[in-house]
Amino acid sequence: MLNRWHLTIALVAVALVCLTIVTIIKSVGGEPVGDTLTEFGLNLGAEIIGIAMTVAVVDWLIERSKLREEAQRIAWATLHDIDHAVWVWQGGRREFHLDELVAILSLVKEEDPLPVFTKNLFANLGMRASDTLRLQARVFRHHRKLKNALTYLSGLAQIRELENLVSPSYIVQSLQSSVAILAFLTGQGMHPASFGIVRTFRDPSIDGQQARYRGVEVEALSSLPPLPNTSSQVAMWDSRTGRIPPRSGISSAQGIDNPSATPKSRPPSSDQ
């Protein structure tokens, strides 16, 4: 594949050939050799400078376009990851819809359960955001708002270490701040008020979360082996505080992400 240096060399070679032919024609026509060579050198220098500037501008535009496309890809992928984690936690329809996501986040209550496997989803969301911030530094130098959106999410990576200190309100605040920026970057308007019906689909119960996480119906849970610590969490869950009491013996580090979890469907978008 041709890169910018190949393109520059090719254009300079073409210019050199053309100027050489013109110089030869002028020499044959009787013009002094010294004047002809001087004019040849000046013309060649001007051509090389012009070609170099053209290639530099085109290369800059191509690089900006690539960074913009990568930023859009990161923004859309992050939105879908957020949507899947919130869907497992709170329920809703399976297909992605920004307004529904925003509406569901506004309905989260402090007493909503946060079992180990759901915490792991949010912790992994935060770790992926941290990894992206570290590995895509070039993109974030040109897209500061996207960097801010992922910075909000990166705080969720500490959920495992701060199990009894991270509340649903902290998670919601981080998600809402990030979603607002990502929606702007992907050119989407937010109209959460139009999704009042979302209350019908919302189900933050532990059984509901486990069913969505495992990709089965709630009725089928009884035929499956329980997830790590799930049964003890149901028994020990404090509905008043919305948390597992301290010293419960349940550590979020014991949770294992289930690779068979069924993600929400992601319809193709022209903005991606």
**Cα dihedral sign for 184, 185, 187, 193?**
negative
For residues 50 and 70, which has the higher predicted lDDT (pLDDT)? 70
Instruction: Enter the DSSP assignment of 97.
Output: -
By the 10 Å C-beta count (0-12 exposed, 13-18 middle, 19+ buried), 34 is classed as exposed
Confidence of residue 3 (pLDDT cuts 50, 70, 90): low
Which of 104, 69, 68 minimizes the C-alpha distance to 85? 104
Which of 94, 119, 114 minimizes the C-alpha distance to 256? 119
| N-to-C CA span, the chain | 25
pLDDT, one tens digit per residue, over 5-49 is 666 677 777 777 776 776 676 666 666 655 666 666 666 667 777
pLDDT(244) > 80: no
For residues 247 and 136, which has the higher predicted lDDT (pLDDT)? 136
pLDDT mean over 183-204: 79
pLDDT of residue 218: 73
Cα gap 103→206, rounded to integer Å? 20
pLDDT, one tens digit per residue, over 125-156 is 999 999 999 998 889 988 999 999 999 999 89
pLDDT of residue 128: 94
Helix, strand, or coil (residue 238) = strand
The backbone region for 263, taken as left when phi is positive above 0, alpha when psi lies in -120 to 50, beta otherwise, is beta
pLDDT, one tens digit per residue, over 58-112 is 778 888 889 899 999 999 999 999 999 999 999 988 888 888 899 899 999 999 9
pLDDT of residue 83: 94
Residue type, 75: A
Cα gap 87→110, rounded to integer Å? 17
pLDDT of residue 177: 94
Helix, strand, or coil (residue 261) = coil
Cα gap 113→171, rounded to integer Å? 12
Q: Indicate the average pLDDT of the chain.
A: 76
Instruction: Enter the DSSP assignment of 257.
Output: -
Q: What are phi and psi of 252, to 5 degrees?
A: -65, -20
Confidence of residue 50 (pLDDT cuts 50, 70, 90): confident
